Amino acid sequence: MRRDLVRFSKWLSRLGFTPGTSGNLSARLDAHRLLVTPTGVSKGLVKATDMVIVDLQGRLLAGTRNVTSEISMHLAVYKHRPDVQAVIHSHPPIATAFACSGRALDEVLCQEAVMTVGPVPLARYATTGTSEVAESLRPYLPGHESILLENHGAVSYGKNLLEAFMKMETVEHLAHVALIAHQLGTARPLQPEQVQQLHHAKAKYLQNVSAEAAKAPAKPARSPYEIDGGQPAQATA
Ligand SMILES: [Zn+2]
């Protein structure tokens, strides 16, 4: 798990989503503990031994560094989404520009928006590191897979770090498409019936994916995002 946190930290850094020491990642270790990136460390340089373990109140249980100052954002997601196993917060530049312009990513311009993260709402402004952040996220956590944070950045989550990472990557892609489509001046959002058909297509796709997963051998799948010759995720800290 530590290796996975390092791996996805580096990917976010390489994409330019975590300038300076910004951005943070976490994953559930078990019902009571989270493995989290530390505060004040570049995501491009963070090491496996830098990671810290906290409980679901954010209290440090293990590690030599301090936990990220934005831990309350992660705790809010885990509290209101018991299905979530991993959370990523970052500052992807174009999605953040939408968040700084008071704009959600809820206009359906391309099919991928429906097939992947769905509408991305904008949570109202909250001072980073305070309990206001959890309050601002709470209304959007059920029913959304990624959320923009007003004048701040984005948070995404999923059943593992890869899924949370891919959602973050997709949010930035959708923001990029929306930006350019509007610059071109002739953006043509999908019609409601086209969106409806895509919902059917998505349900069918997800059915096929779970049927494939049921047929697949028991060994864990190798992540397409693995770098540095990494091994598949281990269920250890
Ligand atoms: Zn932040």
CA of 15 to the centre of ligand 1 (A): 16
Distance 89 CA to ligand 1 centre (A): 6
Beta strands across the sheet bearing 33-36? 60-62, 52-55, 33-36, 24-28, 86-90, 153-158, 146-149, 122-123
> Is 150 a known active-site residue?
no
**From ligand 1's centre to the CA of 120, what distance in Å?**
17
Q: How far is the CA of 221 from the centre of ligand 1 (A)?
A: 31
Question: How far, CA to CA in Å, does 146 sit from each of 14, 40, 142, 161, 217?
Answer: 20, 24, 10, 13, 31
Residue 90 CA to ligand 1 center (angstroms) comes to 6
Output the pLDDT for position 223.
43
pLDDT 10s per residue in the chain (237 long)? 889 999 999 999 999 999 999 999 999 999 999 999 999 999 999 999 999 999 999 999 999 999 988 999 999 999 999 999 999 999 999 999 999 999 999 999 999 888 889 999 999 999 988 889 999 999 999 999 999 999 999 999 999 999 999 999 999 999 999 999 999 999 999 999 999 999 999 899 888 888 888 887 655 544 443 434 334 344 455
Going by C-alpha positions, the residue among 17, 180, 175 that lies closest to residue 92 is 17
H or E element: which one contains 149?
strand 146-149
pLDDT at residue number 177: 96
Dist. CA 234 → ligand 1 center (Å): 28
DSSP 40: T
Angle at 172 between CA 200 and CA 154, to 5 degrees: 100
Model pLDDT, residue 47: 95
Distance 127 CA to ligand 1 centre (A): 10
Q: Which domains does the chain have, with CATH numbers?
A: 2-215 (3.40.225.10)
152 C-alpha vs ligand 1 centroid, how far in Å? 6
Choose, from 70, 150, 169, 172, the residue flagged as catalytic: 70
